[in-house]
Amino acid sequence: MRLFIVEPGAVTGDTVTIQGPDARHICAVLRMAPGDIITVSTGEGPKLSCEISRIERDLVEAQVIGESHSKASTAPSITLAQALPKGRKMDDIIRMNCELGVEKIIPVITERCVARPDEAGMKQKVERWRAIAKAAAQQCRAHKPAMVADVSTIDEIPLADISITLWEEETASLKSALADSGEGRSLILVVGPEGGLSADEARRLTARGFVTASLGGTVLRTETAGLCAVSAALYHFSKA
């Protein structure tokens, strides 16, 4: 069943209103009609089973006919602090990590970042990344999209219950870092750009409470490192 994510204000009583690109997708691409059933999520509370009652090119209305509750996860919420890569690699990084279940993605500018858009360009990129996160959540039927934060610096990355910096110069493995982390309700993973984090950046993060960890003997691409680390963390906590 198709999932559409809306703002909480789009649900009034038992009526859900879908507008804009999603409404056009329902009308022109999916060619749905009144009587068809869709799933709607506001990111708050249960998913809603809804029957379409009105359909136009830019507006769809549906009536709530049921609810479904997702099973609570025992894994901590995962945040990925990703240094800006070159080109449009960030689009794929956001899409794939959203599919894995990352709850928040923080774009970060570091010393070795090649991509350094101006303020206007960065605002446009963040808006596009948020749209990609929403589309990814709808595609994989997630309860809500990952939050894509505004761009941060290395010193603005927040701590979590478990805070890990992925650094190719470290010898201790991510596996051991996760094993030593104990329990926590939140995890943040920091990934550098194509050239990696500098020694000074790694030191500054460590001074604030981050633990450095390696992903193994090979140096992964920046777009691969986050996926690898998130997958390892999900596996680790599924076994905890």
pLDDT tens, residue by residue, 202-217: 999 999 999 999 998 8
CA atoms of 171 and 191, how far apart (whole Å)? 16
The residue out of 15, 33, 68 marking a domain boundary is 68
Same domain for 149 and 88: yes
Give yes or no for residue 70 having a pLDDT over 80.
no
Same domain for 119 and 27: no
* End-to-end Cα, the chain, rounded Å: 32
Same domain for 95 and 45: no
CA distances from 226 to 90, 95, 124, 171 (A): 11, 12, 23, 18
Same domain for 94 and 167: yes
Give yes or no for residue 54 having a pLDDT over 70.
yes
Same domain for 153 and 34: no
Give yes or no for residue 66 having a pLDDT over 80.
yes
How much is the average pLDDT of 52-74?
A: 87
Residue of 231, 96, 90 lying closest to 174 (CA atoms): 231
How much is the average pLDDT of 224-231?
A: 96
CB atoms within 10 A of CB 5: 22
CA atoms of 112 and 56, how far apart (whole Å)? 49
pLDDT tens, residue by residue, 132-188: 999 999 888 888 889 999 999 999 999 999 999 999 999 999 999 999 988 889 999
Same domain for 176 and 88: yes
Burial of 71 (0-12, 13-18, 19+ CB in 10 A): exposed
pLDDT of residue 212: 98
Residue of 61, 131, 60, 51 lying closest to 91 (CA atoms): 131
Provide the residue type at 226 as one letter: G
pLDDT of residue 186: 96
- Work out how many domains the chain is built from and give that number: 2
- Greater model confidence, 29 or 1: 29
Same domain for 214 and 136: yes
The residue out of 68, 89, 118 marking a domain boundary is 68
Burial of 60 (0-12, 13-18, 19+ CB in 10 A): buried
pLDDT tens, residue by residue, 29-44: 999 999 999 999 998 8
CB atoms within 10 A of CB 80: 27
- Greater model confidence, 119 or 193: 193
Same domain for 153 and 190: yes
Same domain for 231 and 126: yes
Same domain for 44 and 107: no
CATH code for position 51: 2.40.240.20
Same domain for 178 and 145: yes
CA distances from 9 to 17, 38, 53 (A): 9, 18, 18
Task: Please give the mean pLDDT across all residues of the chain.
Answer: 92
What is the pLDDT confidence band of residue 116, given thresholds at 50, 70 and 90?
Answer: confident
pLDDT of residue 203: 97
pLDDT of residue 72: 65
Structural domain of 38: 3-68
Same domain for 115 and 228: yes
pLDDT of residue 240: 53
The answer to whether the beta carbons of residues 82 and 93 sit under 8 Å apart is: yes
Give yes or no for residue 14 having a pLDDT over 80.
yes
**pTM, to two decimals:** 0.83
